[in-house]
A and B are shown apart, each in its own frame.
Chain A
Amino acid sequence: MNKPVSVGASLITQVLWARLRALMNEAGATLRRTAFSFPTRESNDFAAVLMDVNGDSIAQSVQSIPSFMATLPLTTKAVLQARTQNAWRPGDVVLTNDPWIGAGHLPDVSIVQPIFWHDQLVGFAGAITHVSDVGGKLFGGQTEEIYEEGLRFLPTLIQTADGLNETFFDVIRSNTRVPDEVIGDIHALIAANDSTIRGVGQLLDEGELRDLTQFGRLIMDRSEAAMRAAIAKVPAGIYHHAVYADGYDEPIKLQCTLHVKGEEIVIDYEGSSPQVPFPLNGVHNFTLAYSVYPLKCAIGPDIPNNSGTLRPFTVIAPVGSVLNCRYPAPVGLRHINGQLLQAALFGALASVLPRQVIAESGSPAAIAVISGLTGAKEGFVVYLYLSGGMGARATKDGLSTTNFPSTITNVPCEVAEQAAPIRIERKEYRVGSAGLGRYRGGFGQEIHVRNLSPFPMTISMLTDRHKYPPLGLEGAKSGATGAVSLESGKPIKAKGHSVVEPGDCVIIQTPGGGGYGPATERSPELIERDRADGLGR
């Protein structure tokens, strides 16, 4: 980094960087356009990442889930341990959905492919998405061991230059509820990586880029330097904060301690709850991803996401804790605690960076997975991602029905209704859910989903914050807690499977974001604006 860089060289760097980002966006678009499953094609639950020969990430598609950007390089490094650099051949495709190697639960399928240029390995293309089904209990079910959650593949060669590994695809075909969707998504992941490989080849052919690894190092070093400079502005010290998740039988504590020292931050989760016999356990990859990304949002939002950005951070989560569980713990709903880490981290920083953090958000997003029959044989699996409200900012209201820190988006009603015998009778901002304050939190939502089919449907709910509301900051009020119920008054679980009888209607309310600053200081203009919008009280 100390070498003088000429204006010409820096210009070329900028042009190459823009081209790399464009080609990764193209890979992302290919994935989205060829995908079959809801999470990918509607909710952006995916990422496409370009990595160097060591598995360090250089660039990724813009429409990517923050956690995936961090986990894919770690996945690739793990794959490289089993399959060293000289074992790869052009055309190889390796898949894994192992939670400990990948992104923390089985539906997240990672695919890694080598990039060869003139018979030389120059890097790796990686893509990951949440597929609709991996067998086992329907996603979100109450499990006690990973084995109940479906098929688990340690890194597996599923395609070579000679063709597909048909055995692998037969296993998928005969063990999943919607095999066409799952296999279609696997093809979409490969298509995305092929797009990356083609684009990188073009860049190398044109001679602009001589070596991906060297250029990658430049990008990573610059990102690292920028991240370090940003951390240096945070007052040094040790900051603690704890938040609680609803859990199943009893609350789960997420305790964080931030050691900010110079240009580095150590995040320690000592004191968090031990792993539980419910699918709420996280793995280290995932905990790392959901720790660094929100901190980057608060401290250095403009810095690109790559392995360089991650270097100044160290994440320590005790082995055997709910944030770093031991195999074979169940992990299906690990995103619930993962998305709450943000609240613990921002809470710790609130005393020193009050204007750079936001109040607690109505995260995790509620997820409802609905499965059933449309006829004698035809089955369906539909995902509804339902965001809560974001926490208020120091200078503005929180965003309504927006997921943070994940970037999952809501599934359009029409799309869900087309894919399943359901009718969404209501979907609206939940007036009164936003935490009041000088700036209010974002609104959560309320949605009514009716079963129109003559068959009972299984609904798998993945929700939290029914007991612990998103707290406000600086004297503001909390957002409303979430809730879920059936019109018939029959019982329905906040986490796990319930039955929706024909004609019955599920009512889901997502939490609102916490406010910022005393509610008495809210400006009359903002109060009037909400009233005019029909959102005031």
Chain B
Amino acid sequence: VTRSADMQYVGQMHDIAVNVPSGRLRPADEDGLRQAFYVRYRELFQRVVTRVPVEALTWRVTVSAPAPEIDLRWRPTAPAVNARKGERPAYFPERGFLTTPIFDRYALRPGEILRGPAIVEERESTLVVGSDAQIRVDSYGSLVVDMPANQSAEAA
């Protein structure tokens, strides 16, 4: 974990990055920070300006760790249970209210096939599929909706 502040003299337009010590910053650290600015400024420009206040515009924390190995293939996180959570009436413009099964996205398994009408719920989104369409769960866990060839989209 490294911490830095973008600092400049009040009135300047360009700031420079100054390292900030670890730990909780207290008012007593102000002078140390100012001195660190002077040191860095002198390194860059060979001189410092006295009597002009110094300001910090941006505080940065950089946390680094070994890069994790990322596998994009989806693996089910929940134990294999029935994905069907229940049912509720849902309105479809062509057919009116239909009793529609509700599925838990996280419980679906690759290879599963669901027939519409269906509602698939997940944390970020909800998929509503019309009665003539079908859902396939592919090997990455993506939901592929196949629509009937001669009909306009019903899935929302």
Interface residues of chain A, those whose CB is within 8 Å of chain B, are 30, 32-36, 41-42, 180-181, 183-184, 187, 190-191, 194-195, 198, 415
Contact = CB atoms under 8 A, between A and B. Distances in A.
Nearest to A37: B11
16 contacts: A32-B14, A34-B12, A34-B14, A35-B12, A35-B13, A36-B9, A42-B13, A183-B49, A183-B52, A184-B49, A190-B47, A191-B45, A194-B45, A194-B47, A195-B45, A198-B46
B123 interface: no
A415 B46 CA distance: 27
Contact of B13 (A41, A187, A191, A195): A41
Nearest to B10: A180
Contacts of A195: 45-46
Interface in B64-92: none
A183 B47 CA distance: 13
Contacts of A415: 13
Main secondary structure of the interface of A (DSSP, over half): helix
A195 B12 CA distance: 19
Contacts of B10: 180
Contacts of A183: 49, 52
Contacts of A180: 9-11, 51-52
Contacts of A33: 12, 14, 45
Given A184-B11, A190-B47, 6 more contacts: A180-B51, A181-B11, A184-B9, A184-B12, A184-B52, A191-B45
- A184, A194, A415 — most chain B CB neighbours (10 Å): A184
Contacts of A184: 9, 11-12, 49, 52
Contacts of A30: 45
Nearest to A194: B46
A194 B13 CA distance: 21
Interface in B1-46: 9-14, 45-46
Nearest to A181: B11
Given A180-B51, A180-B52, A184-B52, A34 B45 contact: yes
A27 B49 CA distance: 18
Nearest to B49: A187
Contact of A191 (B9, B47, B51): B47
A353 to B, nearest CB: 40
Nearest to A183: B49
B51 to A, nearest CB: 7
Contacts of B52: 180, 183-184
Contacts of A32: 14
